Structure 1
Amino acid sequence: MSKNNNIIVVLIFVVAWFFNINKVTFAPLVVSTLFILLTSLLAHCARRLVQKSINEPFVRLLFEEAIAAAELCGCCFELIVVADNFGVGTYAIFLFALTIWWSLNWGDATACPYTHIEDVIEGKGDIRKAFLKTWAELLGGLLVFKYVQTYWALEISETHKDKAFEECRADLQVPVIYGAVVEGVATCLCRLASKSLGDLNPRFATAIDSFIGTSLVVAAFDYSGGYFNPVLATSLKAGCEGHTLLEHAVVYWIGACAGSILSVYMYKIPAIQRYVRGTTAVNGDSIWADKED
């Protein structure tokens, strides 16, 4: 099945699920869905414009990182509305579908600073470029709030009433050190899964990676919020009531980046490498792309 067909199947599932929702809640959910679709469409158009108009590869990548971060944060602002009004299960379905979309459309952009740190550690990039990419991501993630706020101010649905100018609250529900551990461990697991899937190259790798990431986000939701991305956390929650900026940095920057760095070294452990290499040699029915069933 092609990537486009996979996306269609996911969309059909989501639409079918929508029509089983109580009609009272359906309209506000449609408003949130349309905002997310609009945000993704605008980002897609901006990405195409950049690819056509900027020839220098690194400069083009900086713009793509900013666009990806703006798309990520813009959609996740609305996912907060979805989670608050329709539950974590609904939030998870949206996040699962969006993660697949982002994986298929962002190209080399990641909208996540610790991936550039990993590149520096592995000798695939330098510190200057990592800093510039992070700066571009922060710029995109922070500037997108004005766009979100403008949409919320229209108050098209009840779920957006007074949302545009309300005081935000931090998602951290545990002591700072515990929150940093949650973000770090979950980020490490996410990165280990992504690296393994990249090497194993199974069928439906994108969907599997999305499922793992979404599951970890849901698991951490009631503890740290489950951001696993410093730029996303900063765009959505920096300065919110409930923690200081220093506490925010410890949990969402130091915690997540430490988990990412740990994953680089853990993935090189011989036992893990033997497992990854050995999995591709197993025979029989499987999901692995390079196998004959």
Structure 2
Amino acid sequence: MKFQIDVLGIFLKVVVRLNKVTFAPLVVSTLFILLTSLLAHCARRFVQKTVKEPFVKLLLEEAIAAAELCGCCFELIVVADNFGVATYAIFLFALTIWWSLNWGDATACPYTHVEDLIEGKGDIRKALLKTWAELTGGLLVFKYVQLYWALEISDTHKNKAFEDCSADLQVPVLYGAIVEGIATCLCRLASRSLSDLNPRYATAIDSFIGTSLVVAAFDYSGGYFNPVLATSLKAGCEGHTLMEHALVYWIGATAGSIISVYLYKLPSIQKYVRGTTEVNGDSIWADKED
């Protein structure tokens, strides 16, 4: 706890000094994202060292990962609104790589547990508990974000802490669910393929594909592809009801994830994956000699 307070104190001193010299809202947002990632990393290390029971440890790691994901993405909304989608995409690309390298077995995403159920790798009790942990972390982190926004260190945070939020859904509900479902399906197919093919820079490739799909869906559904993330950031916002929110971001995304499980088992896709692994005809593959 003392370490975290010291880190927060140093962070605020850096931000205030920047504010006195030349105020840079993008730097303020960047430092907040870095602070959030650092605090989550410290919490994760603490849990790994002190909690012995594997499943309890995983639940805590899921909560931390969801809090980190949602905390960073709250600030990414500020980045997108003030500095454009291209800047937002650069931040998201880098963060996705960081999360892939640091979360371990945690996913911060409920539909991955549904996939495990379909493939016989988990049970429903554990899936529900992990989803509960993710929702808890994702919802509680807003108080932390709100505290920072209330400081109004940057002009981009003026009146941000207590303003009414608006939904990102810019198309009819059914179309939004289809967008979230198709994009989620493509993301999951890409991730599964990269996991089996194991190319060089697989993490960066996966991040690029995911970020590209998010940007493509940005002006339609917001491009969340994660029920917990969407709930933390947009549930209850003006523009759609909770039922419509659930249809788009929970049912739509989960349906896309489930479809990806069955699509990936199709002989044509499996033939491509096995053939690419054996032939190894591209220099990005891990075993290719350049």
- Return the alpha-carbon distance in structure 2 between the equivalents of residues 246 and 155 of structure 1: 33
1:153-172 → structure 2 map (5 Å cutoff): 153-172=150-169
Q: Report what 2:11 is aligned to.
A: none
1:187-202 → structure 2 map (5 Å cutoff): 187-202=184-199
Deviations, residues 68-117 of structure 1 (Å, cap 9, x unaligned): 00000000000000000000000000000000000000000000000000
Q: Report what 2:14 is aligned to.
A: none
Q: 3-state SS of the aligned residue for 1:281?
A: helix
Q: Report what 1:231 is aligned to.
A: 228
Q: 2:252 aligns with which of 231, 252, 255?
A: 255
Q: Report what 1:132 is aligned to.
A: 129
Q: 1:212 aligns with which of 194, 204, 209?
A: 209
- Return the alpha-carbon distance in structure 1 between the equivalents of residues 266 and 129 of structure 2: 31
Deviations, residues 163-201 of structure 1 (Å, cap 9, x unaligned): 000000000000000000000000000000000000000
* Runs of 4+ with deviation above 6 angstroms: none
Shift of 1:279: 1.0
Is residue 134–residue 228 contact of structure 2 (8 Å, CA) maintained in 1? yes
Q: Report what 1:181 is aligned to.
A: 178
Q: 3-state SS of the aligned residue for 2:200?
A: coil
Q: Report what 2:65 is aligned to.
A: 68
Deviations, residues 23-50 of structure 1 (Å, cap 9, x unaligned): 98x7000000000000000000000000
1:91 matched to 2:91: no
Amino acid at match of 1:175: P
Shift of 1:292: 2.2
Structure 2 gaps, min length 5: 1-20
Deviations, residues 127-153 of structure 1 (Å, cap 9, x unaligned): 000000000000000000000000000
From the superposition, tell whether residues 261 and 285 of structure 1 become closer, same or farther in structure 2 (CA, over 3 Å). Answer: closer
Amino acid at match of 2:248: V
From the superposition, tell whether residues 285 and 275 of structure 1 become closer, same or farther in structure 2 (CA, over 3 Å). Answer: closer
Q: 2:272 aligns with which of 265, 275, 285?
A: 275
- Return the alpha-carbon distance in structure 1 between the equivalents of residues 218 and 67 of structure 2: 22
Shift of 1:290: 1.9
- Return the alpha-carbon distance in structure 1 between the equivalents of residues 196 and 278 of structure 2: 13
Q: 3-state SS of the aligned residue for 1:217?
A: helix
- Return the alpha-carbon distance in structure 2 between the equivalents of residues 170 and 202 of structure 1: 38
Deviations, residues 184-243 of structure 1 (Å, cap 9, x unaligned): 000000000000000000000000000000000000000000000000000000000000
Q: Report what 1:222 is aligned to.
A: 219
- Return the alpha-carbon distance in structure 2 between the equivalents of residues 233 and 213 of structure 1: 16
User: Cα RMSD between the aligned structures?
Assistant: 1.2
Q: 3-state SS of the aligned residue for 2:289?
A: coil
Q: 1:143 aligns with which of 137, 140, 145?
A: 140
Q: 1:119 aligns with which of 116, 119, 135?
A: 116
From the superposition, tell whether residues 157 and 88 of structure 1 become closer, same or farther in structure 2 (CA, over 3 Å). Answer: same
Q: 3-state SS of the aligned residue for 1:280?
A: helix
- Return the alpha-carbon distance in structure 2 between the equivalents of residues 258 and 157 of structure 1: 40
Is residue 280–residue 287 contact of structure 2 (8 Å, CA) maintained in 1? no
From the superposition, tell whether residues 281 and 240 of structure 1 become closer, same or farther in structure 2 (CA, over 3 Å). Answer: same
Q: 3-state SS of the aligned residue for 2:239?
A: coil
